Each structure stands twice: as structure tokens, then as C-alpha cells.
Structure 1
Amino acid sequence: MQLHEDAPRLVVPDRAEATARMKIDRAGWAVRSYARFDRAAVMRVTRAVAEAAHKAAQEYAEWAVRETGMGVVEHKRLKNELSAHPLVDFYENTDLVNPRVDTGRKMVEIPKPAGVVLALTPATNPVSTLYYKAILALLSRNAVIFSPHPLARACCAHAAARLEAAAVAAGAPAGLIQCIEEPSVPLVQALMASPKVQVILATGGGPMVRAAYSSGNPAIGVGPGNAPVYVDPTADQTLAAQRIVDSKAFDNSVLCTNESVLISLAENANRLERGLRAAGAHILSEPEVGKLRAWLFPHGHLNTAAVGKSAVWIAQQAGLRVVPSTRVLIAPVAQVGLDEPLTREKLCPVLAWATAETFERATGMAQMILRMTGAGHSAAIHCEDPQKAMDFAAALSVYRVVVNAPCSQGAAGFATHLAPSFMIGTGYFGRSSVGENIGPQHLVHWTRLAWNSDASVQMGDFGAVRAPFEGQAPAPRPAPAPAAAPLAEAGGMDRDMLRQLILQELRELTRGQS
């Protein structure tokens, strides 16, 4: 039988997009229940997920390096661990569940979770970012759906399934933590525009972050880093050099908080150089700098093959000879800015080094670097003069200045008392909505009951007023062992999701015939 050309055609929806939309629906159902959990239940669920994350830190560190080819297993394990129990500990006293009663101001504040969070994760820090965003969502009573970078989709999908199983075993509703198994740019763009997504946490490349902001949904995005680090003559040169090399070599420099350009004065350059060499850095000669620049920035653009690779590997690719113990390649440059590509963000253990005659000139060079890229992000200074530290920070368009600490860990809150974070808000300088390290408090807004300020109007006694909770969640159930590939039999869906997907597809087919 031959169909007439004008006959209605069946419109079969894209399976990956339909599956993802089902995940959003499932998250919506889950979060409506989870939003009524009291704080004790929320913390129990979060602690259980943190424990599952901690136990699998080594497994996913190995998996991430194997799948992406980036970074160092030992360092990724540490980042995974820091994104588990220590992250929960940091927010132990941050109550985002109970109403706050301020009798002095005659005001009651009720926390309202965002709802469904769409979280983008990068290839450079895949599982640690997933851990971090999952815990932020749980602490703030939200559901989270991950869209991982395609280079890290397998480890992220498995990690999300493990954390979801731990949450459910602790009494959480199913569907709080999910992952898109087949991410693609069109799919992510469609999900970012979904009216069922309340907020987007965007960590990734500039185009994806800009797409999140233009999606029509609220978004919290982070811009690129390009941290300048200044070493003053007053600093302990050996100690400063050790901290910088340790930071730059950490996980092969994939953290966006790593030092990108080193600045010193000419008067302390020799002492600093001795310290850098002792710490494991290779100081390049002028011809070597030319070879490295040509390989790392062919036609003026970063060679992405270098991202997350070791200093020795990069040296070999660029035709340089270095000892096997080399941790960082340091390239002395005559200028900073647009005409010197080595002063851009690199995400690999290559550090440009420029010298200045005065502190004021060094500060100006640091600001020039940030104007090129990295505005709003981070900078570092090593000095023993508080006035210089203040002047340096005041002159730069950044929201974090790390003092006498490794910038990679310091700006991310792991070597300072800043909030531990894998989302570094770049604020107005960096075209972002938030200028601080992102935490669970950014996923909650507050409804405020405000009484008449007239002293003759009484507020009333809230001592016996009941908060709108269902109480403790059900008793924890034993966690099922994670599958080798999560829910592989149904393309990432359980039986209930598959049944709902079929019904949804039938409805869409029916609409297509009408």
C-alpha cells in the first residue's frame, strides 16, 4: 500500500531527548517529596552519599584518567575525597531547611529549594565536580541531573548511579541524582531551555557557559581562569617556589585556579629561579621557549592535546629534552598580553614567567593578564608585606587573591578557609551572576514574612508553629551493588521510566497525526 503524499506522517521523537526529558520529569517528582524532608533526614541522606563517594574515590580517579587521558590518578583521588566528607563538614552548620525567625525585625524566612538542577561537568575534573554538585543539591533539597562532557560520560554515569543508590538506601526518593548517558550539544541545549529545569550549574567551556546564560533559565556559570602569581622580594623565595611548582603540577594543572603567569621583580629573579629548579621545574632557554610556543599555540590557538598532560610528555611533543623528574616547564617571556600566547590560560604544567622593575609595574602586568582572560577569577601573591598584599588585591579585577599558598588548592578552598568549590564564581568582572565560590546556599531562595514595623503591631509567638515537614524519611534500606554499567539493559532507564517513556512517545505520535 502506498501512502498519499498529503497523508499525515508519524513523527518519531529523538530517543535521547525523550529519555532525558523523562529524567527531568522523574527528578521533578523526586524533588517534590525531598523538599518536605526535615534537616535530620537531609543530612542523613547527604552523609550516606558522601560515604559512597569517599569509598569510590580511587576507583573513579583511575577511571577518569583512563577515559579522558588527563590528570594524575593520585591527585584526582584526593579531589574526589575532598568533595565528599570534607565538603559536607564545611556546611554542617549551614541550615538551608528550617525557617529562621527574627523577632527583633519581626520577620520569618522560609527556605525554598530551586527544584530541578541541570549540572554540566567538565572533562578536566569530571567525578570530583559531579560529587561536589550532587552534595550541593542534596544539602539544599534539590534534585540534580548531570550532563557530563562526552569525554567523561562513562565514569560520570556510573558515579551518578552509585550516588543515587546510596541516597535511595538512606531513605531518599528515587530520581534525586541522575545522569544523561548520551550527552550531545543539541541535547544539552534543549535541556537547558526546558521549563522544567529551575537552574543550570554550568562548568565547562566558554561557549557552553554562554549558552546556559542565554537558555532562558536561571544559570550560574563560571568563566575561565588565568591566574597571575606575584612573588615579592620580601617572600621566602624557596618556599614560594615550592608552593608554586606543587600547585602547577597538581593533577597536571587541570584546575582552572592554577597559576598561569609568574611575575617577579628583577631583583629577586635569581633567588626565585634557584628555588624553582630545586622544586622540580625546568627553566626553558629562549630557543626552547620558541619551540614550546609553536607547539602549544599553533596558529595562535591552544593545542588541546596538552590539557592535563605531564610536563615531560609536553616537552617530548615540543621537541625539548628534559629530565624525567621534571614537574613544570617554565617559559621566561619578554612581555605579557595578547602578543604573547604563553600568558593565556593553558590548563597544563606550563608556566610563563615575566619580570618587572617595580611592584607597581608587576601589579599592572597582572591586571593586563586578567584583562586578556581570567577576569573575576583568581590571583596569588607571595609576600610578607601586608600593605603590598592589600594594594595588589585592590588593583586586580578578581574576587579571590591567595596569599602565601598554592593557588590551585587555595582559590578552590582546599588550602585556605574559602568555601571548598569546583565552581569559582567570576562575578561582574567575569560576566557571571555570582562572585564567590558556589555553595548550596546559591540553590535556595527565601520567602520572607515581614510584619508591620509599627511597634504597636504584634508579630505573634512562633514558638509552637510547626514547620511544613513530613518528618524523618523512611528507615534506610541496604544499598544495591552498582552494576558494571548503570541500567544498561534499558539504555540508562529503569522499567518504570521505560514504561513512562513509551506512553509519552505514544502521546507525541498521536499529536503528530492530529
Structure 2
Amino acid sequence: MQMNKSAQTNEEVAATISTMMEKARVAMDQIYDYSQEQVDELVQAVAWAIYKPGNTEKLAQIAVQDTGLGRYDDKVTKKRRKTMGTLYDLKDEKSVGIINKDEATGITEIAKPVGVVGAVVPSTNPGATPANIAMMALKGRNAIIIAPSPKGLTTSKLLLSYIHEELTKLGAPLDLVQVLPEPVNKAKTIELMKQVDFLTVTGSRNNVRLGQTSGTPNICVSEGNVVSIVDATADIQSAAHKIFLSKTFDNATSCSNDNSVVIEAPVYDEMIRALQKEGGYLCNQVEKDNLQASIWTADGKRNPETVAKDPAVIAQAAGLKNKKAEEATFFMVEETGVGEDYPFSGEKLAVVLTVYKAKDFTDAIDISKNILNYHGRGHSCGLHTSDESHIERIGLEMDVSRLLINQVQVSGNGGSFDNGLNFTLSMGGGTWAGNNTCDNLSYKHFLNVTKVSEVIPEVVPTEEELWGTYWEKYGRA
């Protein structure tokens, strides 16, 4: 009897997703002949739905209230900044019909939708991430179904109501954007992964793995564990301030928050003092042990009670009683090792910065590589320096998709108005991280492109052009 009930439940889940898929396909058919101008208005509508004064604040308030993660002010800032930046990136970009024509090659490129997009989004960004991905998906005339975390469902549903309100103004089909109905659970999310045409997963390692093994074409992205190097030539005060901003933003909910800093020995003490001036509290060994016990349980699992919490909550949980600790903006722990026996070397989702001392720049690169090979391989790292040779060297040696020089990692990795990276809340780590892309997620990932090839004047290379240099070195025998 229990088996029949379970099978029926699975059938109901499949039917629920199938119904949503049917609605999404109908909505897509209705906008297939939209002009570029009409498509761009869809994108503007989604952007305004989250950016609109009052909406932003309400979404941030509910996100903090229901998930218990992050900070209200920073969530407001994130929603506005990411939305404005993404809309700016999408403005004037072609995504409908002929998007490029190259007379020299005879190739004409025509953009087509990828289909119904499934977007699995994390509890850390239940408002900003769905809106960000929806803008990109609609830019390609796709429909999107959002799968929030259970704690983020209320925020995502409110966002959906705001989006539908704006789509109504345009006379556009509301089923272009849907959210999984409650109760949101693993069964529905996995079924969605199977049924959609294209999938993106932003969040936990387990969810990303499920997405990548779902059998659905996907652009699932990796975990972060940002490490920044401060070399002996860096502007110490500037570097400390930028690392402080990155470490503390939204209580470290982002994959791009600094998790570790590797400091060259000649400026180590100076850098520690600069970080302390930014409100950082350097724990002694006993305090470090207490902090570790409050962040991880005895079996090594992350304690949810200290995930993305205010510094005062962390201090209380770790029993840090002195005034400086209670008033700290973030905490620092000195570390020498990397790996499972050194949990502070991994991603923490907490306002805790792990500090390493490096003998020289070579040692700093080696330490950083070890950290990223343990957690966050392929994602990103940073360098604070005034030495151009160090910039070139680290770029050649570090296997990361993003390397930020003298920047605030948390606001730069996902795109910034003062760098050339496109705005996103989902960042690939390349094959280093087992991802299909090393790019920042963009609207281009939500386009199929038909390449129309026409005949051009024939160009046939000579044997000399192809093998001439080889023959010169090794002969023709």
C-alpha cells in the first residue's frame, strides 16, 4: 500500500511539472514572433519588477526574515546594482532574428530560443538570482520555471507576483515566468531538472551535481572559495578596505566573498593591523578553536545557526566575550594548512577571514593553488599589487576563471561598472570545477544559433603554406 502511495506521489509530481511545462511552451509560442523591441520590453519589465522602489525593500525584508541569511541593506544594494548592471549589459544587444552577418565568410547567424529554462536558485539569493536569470532567459524568447529553496519560496513567489504585474502591462503571457508551487521539495526540483529543455543551477555542490547528471543540457555553476593575495608592493590600506568590503557584504552569502587572504611576509604585520582598523578581530588559538566549534558540528557539517549571520551572532555562538570581539565587523583566524583537517581553508559562508603568511610571491601562489584545489577550483581569486610582472605571472599560473586585480571581489567577480566582466549572480568555473563554462552567465547562454552558410570564393591553401615551417626544421622525408 505504501509503495502505491509513493508511486502515486511521483506521478503527481511529474504531472505538476508537465502542466507547468505545457503552460510555458504555450507562452513561448505566443512570443516567438516578438520583435527585438518587444523582447527588450519583457526584459525591462522583469528588471523593473525587482528594482522598483518598494519592491526591492519588501523582497529584501522577506528574504532575511524567512531565510535568516544575510543583511537587509546589502540585499537591497545587491538587487538594485545587479539588476541595473544586467539590464545595461543586455541593452542594445541583438537576440532576435539575424544577429550577425559576415560577408567575408558568408555566414549569417540567426538567434533562436533554447526552450523552457529551469533555474534552481539558492536560499542566499531568492530574489536577485531568479530575476537575474529571468532577464537573460527572456532576452532569448525563452520561458523560465524557477525552483527556489524551501526557505526562499516566499521571496520568489512575491517576486513572481511583481513580475506578473509588469508583464500584464505589456499584454505578455504570464506563464513566461513561473515558480514551483509549494511545497517545494527535492522531488519537484529533480523532476523539473528532467523535464526542462535547458537547466541552470546556482547553489550547493549537491544541487549542482544533480543538475549536471540530470541528462538535461545545462549550464550549472560551481562553488566559490575566493582567495586573495596581498604582495609586498600592494597599497596596504586600500587592499584591507577592499577585502573588508568583500568579506562582510551580505554577511558572506556570495560565492565571491573573500574567504582567505595570503599575505607576503614583509607586509604581513602591516596588513593585519590594516584589517584590524577595518574592524577585523584576530582570534587567538583558544578563540579559533571555539569559533571552529560554532561553525562546524562535530561530524564536520556546516552549522546552520552560524551561516551568513551578523558578527555579533557569531561572537556569541563562539563565546567571544571581550568588547573588541563583540564589536567586530568580521573575524580573522591564522592558518598554516589546507584540507579537511583545516576547515577554515574552505568556503565558510560566514564573516570569517582565514589568514595565511607566505614567504614570498611564489609561496603565495602555491598556497592559493592548494586552497582552491581543496575548495573552489576554477572559480576566482584576487591579487592586490603594484607589480605588473606579478599580474602577468599569476594570470598564467592560476587555474581560475576570474582573476581580479586590486578590486573588491564580491562586487567585481559578478560584473562591475568599473571592469569588463558582465553582470551576473551565476559564475562558471570551467572544466577545473566540472562546469560546462568558465564564463559569467549571460543571455548568450540562453540562445541557440542557426548559422546560414552561403558560397564564397574558394580559398585552397598550398602545401607550402601548411607545412613549410615544419619542412624547414625537420625535412620532408
Shift of 1:17: 4.3
Q: Deviations over 1:389-412 (max 9, x none)?
A: 221232222110111111111111
Alignment-derived partner of residue 450 in structure 2: 447
Find the residue that maps to 1:424 and give its secondary structure. Answer: coil
Alignment-derived partner of residue 471 in structure 2: none
Mapped contact 1:47–1:85 kept (Cα < 8 A):
no
CA distance in 2 between partners of 1:369 and 1:93 (Å): 40
- Mean Cα deviation higher: 97-106 or 417-426: 97-106
| TM-score, normalised relative to structure 2 | 0.90
Number of matched pairs = 445
Alignment-derived partner of residue 428 in structure 1: 431
Shift of 1:139: 1.2
Shift of 1:16: 5.0
Shift of 1:96: 1.1
Q: Does 1:354 align with 2:356?
A: yes
Alignment-derived partner of residue 31 in structure 2: 34
Which structure 2 residues correspond to residues 74-473 of structure 1 after superposition, within 5 A?
A: 74-99=73-98, 100-182=100-182, 183-194=184-195, 197-298=196-297, 299-321=299-321, 322-323=323-324, 324-414=326-416, 416-454=419-457
- Mean Cα deviation higher: 386-395 or 111-120: 386-395
Q: Deviations over 1:218-241 (max 9, x none)?
A: 011111111111111111111111
CA distance in 2 between partners of 1:12 and 1:346 (Å): 36
**Pair 203,253 (structure 1): closer, same or farther in 2 beyond 3 Å:** same
CA distance in 1 between partners of 2:129 and 2:91 (Å): 20
Find the residue that maps to 1:261 and give its secondary structure. Answer: strand
The AA in structure 1 aligned to 2:128 is: S
The AA in structure 1 aligned to 2:189 is: V
Mapped contact 2:294–2:306 kept (Cα < 8 A):
no
Mapped contact 1:164–1:178 kept (Cα < 8 A):
no
Shift of 1:252: 0.1
Find the residue that maps to 2:403 and give its secondary structure. Answer: strand
**Pair 79,417 (structure 1): closer, same or farther in 2 beyond 3 Å:** same
| TM-score, normalised relative to structure 1 | 0.84
CA distance in 1 between partners of 2:432 and 2:278 (Å): 34
Mapped contact 1:203–1:209 kept (Cα < 8 A):
yes
Work out the percentage of aligned pairs sharing the same amino acid.
28
Name structure 1 gaps, 5 residues minimum. Answer: 1-9, 457-514
Out of 41, 46, 55, the position equivalent to 1:44 is 41
Shift of 1:113: 0.9
Find the residue that maps to 1:432 and give its secondary structure. Answer: coil
Mapped contact 1:378–1:398 kept (Cα < 8 A):
yes
Find the residue that maps to 1:24 and give its secondary structure. Answer: helix
Shift of 1:206: 1.2
Shift of 1:168: 3.0
The AA in structure 2 aligned to 1:36 is: D
Mapped contact 1:202–1:221 kept (Cα < 8 A):
yes
CA distance in 2 between partners of 1:366 and 1:45 (Å): 43
Shift of 1:157: 1.2
CA distance in 2 between partners of 1:296 and 1:337 (Å): 16
Alignment-derived partner of residue 18 in structure 2: 21
Q: State the structure with bigger RCO (CA 8 A, min sep 6), 1 or 2.
A: 1
Mapped contact 1:47–1:88 kept (Cα < 8 A):
yes
Alignment-derived partner of residue 499 in structure 1: none
CA distance in 2 between partners of 1:12 and 1:89 (Å): 44
- Mean Cα deviation higher: 431-440 or 92-101: 92-101
RMSD, aligned CA: 1.7
Name structure 2 gaps, 5 residues minimum. Answer: 1-6, 460-477
Shift of 1:13: 7.1
The AA in structure 1 aligned to 2:86 is: L
CA distance in 2 between partners of 1:79 and 1:222 (Å): 20
Shift of 1:21: 2.2
Q: Deviations over 1:99-144 (max 9, x none)?
A: 0222221121111111100011100111000110111111111110
Find the residue that maps to 2:127 and give its secondary structure. Answer: helix
Mapped contact 1:83–1:131 kept (Cα < 8 A):
no
CA distance in 2 between partners of 1:12 and 1:296 (Å): 37
Shift of 1:452: 2.3
Q: Deviations over 1:408-447 (max 9, x none)?
A: 1111113633111110011110000010100010010211
**Pair 15,428 (structure 1): closer, same or farther in 2 beyond 3 Å:** same
Mapped contact 1:107–1:451 kept (Cα < 8 A):
yes
CA distance in 2 between partners of 1:406 and 1:126 (Å): 23
CA distance in 1 between partners of 2:396 and 2:292 (Å): 32
- Mean Cα deviation higher: 206-215 or 423-432: 206-215
Shift of 1:266: 1.7
The structure that is helix-richer by fraction is 2
CA distance in 2 between partners of 1:115 and 1:168 (Å): 22
